[in-house]
Amino acid sequence: MGEEKDKNNAAPNSKPDNNSEKIQSLREMIYSAEKTLQGAKAMLLQLEGKKKVGRRKKMSEEEEDGKVIEGTFDGQIMIGTDGKQYPVPANYASKSKLVEGDLLKLTITADGSFIYKQIGPAERKRLIGSVNQDADGNYFITADGKPYRVLLASITYFKVDPGDEVTLVVPRDINSDWGSIENVIQKGNAAALVSEKPEEETEEKEEISKASIIDEWAPDFEELKKELNKSEE
């Protein structure tokens, strides 16, 4: 009887061991099945002439094709993590509205081309300011009582003049001397006067053209009288 009790007591304890073995076996089967499935997918893509796509693959291809450097934009150039300075095209910085503190990735390709990409925009804030120009011809934007430097490419891109009112983008958490023009709010008085002149000239031209048409088509009464007299004779 004692032996039977021992057997009965041992039976329940053996079930958890069997379950754990089954669970482990199932996990191994699933892992093996997943590996087999991944291999089958890779073979299928290869046979179809396709390549895997994705962010990781794209980055690795860039690294293989050229040198990749990350850095921080300081308003004019990129300061790389290697401590070196790299020129940033002014047109790209202006159109992308880069501000100091933006994180950039530079890919230097095999042929020496520089390809920039913004990977970590800094927190921004927007200010309303006016365009000014100093004695040396340098442009700056005055906003909240502070002058901000802007790239000349930004001035030419938006075609702004001194006196124009613009929206300026600056870093929120950095006391920067640089800003980027986002939009033109209002043109200055000088621009308004220039825009008025063509309208006045247009009106004058219209009046002149109307007068010339009238003169061209107006009948000659003297000639008409002569013709009438001839017909009566």
pTM of the shown model? 0.53
**Is 196 inside any structural domain?**
yes
Say what the pLDDT of residue 30 is.
74
**Is 174 inside any structural domain?**
no
**Is 153 inside any structural domain?**
no
Token couple for 2:
């004692």
- Between CA 201 and CA 208 the distance in angstroms is 10
Indicate the residue among 10, 34, 52 that finishes a domain: 52
Say what the pLDDT of residue 192 is.
38
Say what the pLDDT of residue 198 is.
43
Contact 65, 113 (CB under 8 A): no
Say what the pLDDT of residue 187 is.
84
pLDDT along the chain (233 residues), means of 10: 51 60 74 64 59 45 71 94 93 94 94 92 96 94 96 93 95 94 82 40 44 44 59 55
- For residue 69, the enclosing domain spans 55-120
Within this chain, do residues 69 and 88 fall inside the same structural domain, yes or no? yes
Say what the pLDDT of residue 141 is.
97
Say what the pLDDT of residue 101 is.
94
**Is 161 inside any structural domain?**
no
- Between CA 50 and CA 54 the distance in angstroms is 13
Within this chain, do residues 41 and 96 fall inside the same structural domain, yes or no? no
Within this chain, do residues 46 and 61 fall inside the same structural domain, yes or no? no
Within this chain, do residues 83 and 103 fall inside the same structural domain, yes or no? yes
Say what the pLDDT of residue 211 is.
42
